[in-house]
Chain A
Amino acid sequence: MGLETIQLVNFLLPLGLLVFAYLLGAWIERRHYRDILAREAGLRSFPVVTFETLPDNWQVESVELVSGSVVISLDYFKRVIAGLRALVGGRVKTYEPLLDRARREAVLRMVEHAQANGYDAIANVRLETSRLANSRGDGNGTAGIEMLAFGTALSLSRR
């Protein structure tokens, strides 16, 4: 067990971790997208809109604030690739599907909640993101991102 063995381990260990993180992350992402698409198809007829002022012909019976929230974290592969990307700049493509999934998942949770409670639509939908600092407490690094979707659920007598 010489110095060279240690160097070899130092070289191969992150590489193995990278491959493992990629395979697992890609599998989870594929599965999640399948799930999102199926749920979106089922909720297609439920109106989710961003306007604040309702059309005059909407007869609103009751309202409620509804929200859906997701907390996501990065896998090692995405983090490493994004770190390399940070050196040269450009689209951080590995993060895009992650945030896309988070947005759609948050909206889906909100809509599912509204539908389960008998509402007909959600108006004034907003999306917000906040960064969760990690446990190191030095303010650097990110433990994850929270994606929050919220809006006003409406129960309509006529539309």
Chain B
Amino acid sequence: MRYVPRSPREGINVSDEHPLKEAAVLVVGLSFLFAIVMLSLVFIVDLVVVAVSPETEARIFSGWTPGGIVELVDDDSRQRAVAGVLQRIETGWPDSPYDFRLLVADDDEPNALAVPGGVIVVTTGLLDKVGSENELAFVLAHELGHFRNRDHLRGIGRGVALAIFYAAISGGSGGADIGIAVADLTLRQFSRDQEAAADRFGLELVQAEYGHVADSWRFFERLRDTEAQPGIMAAYLSTHPDTGDRIEDIRRYARDSGWSTVGRTTPLDW
């Protein structure tokens, strides 16, 4: 028997494909796949939301308060005044199927929430910051816009869809991070569109009540002046439109609709 000296043969056990090519195919392909899955989930959620009538929603959430999510305060002296503004704004939406309730949450961050069952929550931080009734009216009207578009239910439905999606792919480990990133970004884009739609409806209500839309975006200008300016990337990641863009959009909508942006504003005396 003869031993033939030779080196091991190459290309049998190791693929000669460049690792970056495999990485690119996997990342792009899976991102695409995840985006499609997420968009279908959003579509299904929207179908379900439309199928749930406001009456059914009210029945499910009657007597429920969002005490679990926010810390509610029931002795804020400003609550009655805010509820009064809400009541007047509401008349601009006569066929509203909701019986709205206004609650105040103890939080320094200025914020307002639309909660299932016709509950609007405003934070003490928001009440501290608003400068006039007109500013407050637009914030409340914006939340009414969310109710009209059923965004509050969509939000919950999408949260559930995201949780299911996460549970499904985290079983496969490594892909979970990229899946979540794609799903999250997909949802945020939707969320920004919803905010813009709610802004426009809110502006209509303010115009109907006051006959002008002066001070409507004043509150956002206040926020913009205090917040740091986000970069392009941060704007893409954000759930709400960039405050500057948002003010611009609201302004344009008011101008295109021919509404007066000047008028007598009502001061808040609290």
Residues of chain A having any CB pair with chain B under 8 Å: 1-2, 4-5, 7-8, 11, 14, 22, 26, 37, 40-41, 44-45, 47, 49, 55, 57, 77-88, 91, 93-94, 96-97, 99-100, 103-104, 121, 159
Contact = CB atoms under 8 A, between A and B. Distances in A.
Contacts of B231: 8
A86 B175 contact: yes
B30 A87 contact: yes
Interface string B94-122: 00000000000000000000000000000
20 contacts: A2-B230, A4-B234, A11-B233, A26-B19, A37-B7, A40-B8, A45-B5, A78-B19, A81-B23, A82-B174, A83-B173, A84-B178, A85-B22, A86-B175, A88-B30, A91-B15, A93-B15, A97-B14, A99-B13, A121-B3
Contact of A11 (B13, B175, B237, B238): B237
Contacts of B55: none
B27 interface: yes
Contacts of B20: 22
Nearest to A97: B14
Interface of B: 1, 3, 5-8, 13-15, 17, 19-20, 22-23, 26-27, 29-30, 169, 172-175, 177-178, 181, 227-228, 230-231, 233-234, 237-238
A59 B8 CA distance: 27
Given A84-B175, A87-B172, A44 B6 contact: yes
Given A7-B237, A37-B7, A83-B174, 10 more contacts: A2-B227, A8-B234, A81-B23, A83-B175, A86-B172, A86-B174, A88-B29, A93-B19, A96-B14, A99-B13
B172 A83 contact: yes
Given A40-B7, A86-B172, A88-B30, A100 B14 contact: yes
